[in-house]
């Protein structure tokens, strides 16, 4: 059951039904009213039930980039965390246009569309936008061009948004995790043909802690870009 504490600042977290997004929702849920974003209503409701003040925000952000059929946003929004994302593609030679389109729609186009809709509420609250990017948004390698390409584009979007919204009091942060212990990471490692070993990953909670740092920084400062990587490397 949704519970609302009107005294709390409001945070919308996309992709909050699992993985990094869920960890961010739980972490920010200690102090914020959370709009738990996701496509699966049952999974979203399960996260809502764990939080002291939360409600579902069930939406397919890619299916409606205009936002006309999506749930309404509040008049004031203190935090917007873009955590929803997909990993896909292989070498440039073997990846067709449909895969490229899907990865960019989820990782870039949907982020841009939701941000555009949320800007009036973010400006009203002098809020913060946090994009969960990736180490792949800083460097690419063989077989990673599709995913990294989308994350490079997300970094460009975030950098531009930061400067555009600076006069409006909206802060913009870009978080770049390395390999994180999530279902997506397990699928990636399996495709790479490696044995999965959490020694070479960080936890979703570690990423959530960096989001907390960005959110809690006094408004006179901004965590513009932050990279968090596993200590051990293969």
Residues annotated as part of the active site? 147
Calculate ∠ Cα 23-131-76, nearest 5°. Answer: 85
- 209, exposed or middle or buried, with CB in 10 Å at 0-12, 13-18, 19+? middle
Provide the 3-class DSSP secondary structure of residue 99.
helix
| Residue 105 and residue 62 in contact, taking contact as beta carbons nearer than 8 Å | yes
Query: Residue 72 and residue 118: Cα distance in Å, rounded?
Result: 10
Place of tokens 């399960």: 46
Residue appearing with tokens 């989308």: 150
């Amino acid at each position: 059951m949704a519970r609302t504490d009107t005294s709390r600042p409001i945070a919308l977290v996309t992709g909050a039904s699992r993985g990094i997004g869920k960890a961010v929702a739980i972490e920010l849920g200690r102090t914020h009213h959370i709009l738990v974003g996701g496509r699966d209503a049952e999974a979203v409701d399960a996260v809502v039930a764990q939080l002291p003040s939360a409600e579902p925000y069930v939406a397919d952000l890619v299916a409606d980039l205009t936002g006309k059929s999506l749930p309404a946003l509040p008049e004031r929004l203190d935090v917007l965390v873009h955590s929803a994302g997909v990993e896909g593609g292989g070498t440039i030679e073997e990846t067709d246009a449909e895969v490229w389109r899907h990865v960019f729609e989820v990782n870039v186009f949907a982020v841009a569309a939701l941000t555009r809709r949320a800007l009036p509420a973010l400006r009203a609250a002098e809020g913060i936008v946090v994009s969960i990017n990736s180490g792949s948004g800083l460097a690419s390698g063989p077989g990673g061009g599709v995913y990294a390409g989308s994350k490079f584009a997300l970094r460009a979007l975030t950098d531009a948004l930061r400067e555009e919204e600076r006069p409006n009091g909206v802060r913009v942060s870009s978080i770049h995790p390395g390999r994180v212990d999530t279902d997506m990471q397990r699928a990636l490692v399996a495709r790479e043909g490696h044995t999965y070993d959490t020694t070479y990953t960080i936890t979703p909670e570690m990423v959530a802690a960096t989001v907390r740092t960005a959110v809690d920084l006094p408004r006179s400062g901004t965590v513009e870009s932050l990279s968090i990587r596993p200590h051990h490397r293969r």
